[in-house]
Amino acid sequence: MRILLTGATGQVGGALLDPLSERGTVLAPSRSELDLTKPSGIKTFLDGCRPELIINPAAYTAVDRAEDEPGLAFRVNAESPYEIAKWAAHHDVPLIHFSTDYVFDGSGQSAWREESATAPLSVYGRSKLAGEEAIRAAAAPSLTIRTSWVYASQGHNFLLTISRLATERTELRIVNDQFGAPSSAREIAAAVTKIVAGGLPAFRSRVRHCDTVNIACAGETTWFGFAEAIVDGLRRRNRDLMTKRVIPISSEEYPTRAVRPRNSRLDLTRARQIFWITMPSWQQALDAELADLGSGQLREARRAV
């Protein structure tokens, strides 16, 4: 099976490379080969590589910068996915696309279900919702995976930022009124691999009845709780840290260009019932990433000697 994987240098795309390679030939184009900022070139690229499955985790994810670059955000997150989905529909090729908790307005305290009303608060959220709607309109055999608070032991993300700041600052002030589940790219990739493990006929059968599913780690916390867990985990691994205290603050005390949803909880019932996926707790996933972070840094140190 020829699998087209976009965004292979990103967190989820990078985590998918190895497990997908065990199931087929993975085509992982560079940005120069497949430029999602230029939707007009997508059909030509797809005609050339003729994938049998498309997995699209690539996205414009600069949430605050999107407020000043709405055109670019919509080209990457909505117009390009539409072109991919049109090609997939025309050639009857299954498509897995990724979206976000930012399509919701963050109100209330209940976990968002796949059919919950959407009302994004930011340009980024609106661009991702537009991508979902465009794929649905194209009528390809597709599945949109919504996830939340993605991180990994590599790249640019909250885990690595806190790991760095904990070696530089005696105090960390972290928002404590936004709730969600930190979700490691590794566990998201494992779930995607399980979704396609039964083969394309089984995948097609499921997505006829379900075009969207929430995939995130189980449980909930706040960014403050996540940061505290990271610092505690680093201490248990004998990391030399400057941070003595992690201090909870409100969203108002840490203003950002784009409004973040206060409630990013995702209901995981459909993932269990339709795809037989039971996600680990966010704490379990974090332990695995911290272990990998430590071994990765050790490898880097050895190479530097």
Residue-averaged pLDDT of the chain: 93
Structure tokens at 179: 């709730």
Q: Which residues, at least 6 apart from 200, have a Cβ–Cβ distance to it below 8 Å?
A: 1, 52, 53, 94
Count Cβ atoms below 10 Å from residue 180 Cβ, excluding itself. 26
User: What are the pLDDT digits (tens) for 212-228?
Assistant: 999 999 999 999 999 99
Positions marked catalytic: 124
d(CA 163, CA 159): 6
Structural domains in the chain plus CATH codes: 2-151+184-218+266-281 (3.40.50.720)
Q: Which residues, at least 6 apart from 90, have a Cβ–Cβ distance to it below 8 Å?
A: none
The whole model's pTM is what?
0.92
Residue 303: per-residue pLDDT? 37
User: What are the pLDDT digits (tens) for 256-288?
Assistant: 999 999 999 999 999 999 999 999 999 999 999
User: What are the pLDDT digits (tens) for 95-130?
Assistant: 999 999 999 999 999 999 999 999 999 999 999 999
What confidence category does residue 55 fall into, taking pLDDT thresholds of 50, 70 and 90?
Answer: very high
